[in-house]
Amino acid sequence: DSGVTQTPKHLITATGQRVTLRCSPRSGDLSVYWYQQSLDQGLQFLIHYYNGEERAKGNILERFSAQQFPDLHSELNLSSLELGDSALYFCASSVELSNRYGYTFGSGTRLTVV
Amino acid sequence: SQKIEQNSEALNIQEGKTATLTCNYTNYSPAYLQWYRQDPGRGPVFLLLIRENEKEKRKERLKVTFDTTLKQSLFHITASQPADSATYLCALVYSSYKLIFGSGTRLLVRP
């Protein structure tokens, strides 16, 4: 157990639907990062939050949004889902902003869009 | 844009040998370079970090080198074991604090 908790572990939903993925960072970590991993794309950076504020954005689609709450947990919202959104979604956390100590990843949420 | 290249072909070696994995990048050098291990269906696990002003870092059977002139990092596992079989990811940190991953190299260690 890495200390980063992601729920749910698996999610199957239909095209056009909306889902929310949840992440609780490791205790004491203020930064939360979201990544998407599909077979042909590798790990793609989506977004970074630090202590409730958005700090960096990657190739995140407009249909996707995220937020980090005062208790530091984060949610990734995916809407108008398409077949191509099927992937593993990972959350990672780190203790500070600059990431000098490596990220701790959760076990991921496997999203299947049918 | 920045590109990170790792050998997409699997590295297949005999137990006890040294595995060497390569990570090449384009454009400017990152502040830090990290290596992660990922097993199928699992999240990456942080292994080692090396800073741009460091040449080499070691941790038990692992060694990482960082050559900013060649724009390359090498990741070595000495006395490899079947349990070392996994995908190894190189990742670069830039001033925007984004961690950008390479596509990874799969290592297979035969008993």
Residues of A with CB below 8 A from B46's CB? 102-104
B7: Cα separation from own chain's centroid: 11
User: Of A111, A57, A106, nearest to A84 (Cα)?
Assistant: A111
Task: Please give the interface size between A and B, counted as residue pairs whose CB atoms are below 8 Å apart.
Answer: 56
Average pLDDT over residues B1-22: 91
Average pLDDT over residues A74-102: 90
Nearest by CB to residue B96, choosing from A4, A56, A92, is A56
Residues of B with CB below 8 A from A97's CB? 97
Tokens of A58: 């990657």
Residue B3 scores a pLDDT above 90: no
Average pLDDT over residues A24-52: 91
Residues of B with CB below 8 A from A89's CB? none
Residue A99 scores a pLDDT above 90: no
- Residue A15's pLDDT band, with cuts at 50, 70 and 90, is very high
Cβ <8 Å between A107 and B93 = no
Average pLDDT over residues B12-23: 97
Residue A83 scores a pLDDT above 70: yes
Tokens of A62: 């407009």
Distance from CA of B5 to the nearest CA of A (A): 12
Distance from CA of B69 to the nearest CA of A (A): 22
Distance from CA of A96 to the nearest CA of B (A): 10
- Taking each continuous run of H as one helix and of E as one strand, the counts in chain A are 0, 11
Residue A100 scores a pLDDT above 90: no
Cβ <8 Å between A4 and B34 = no
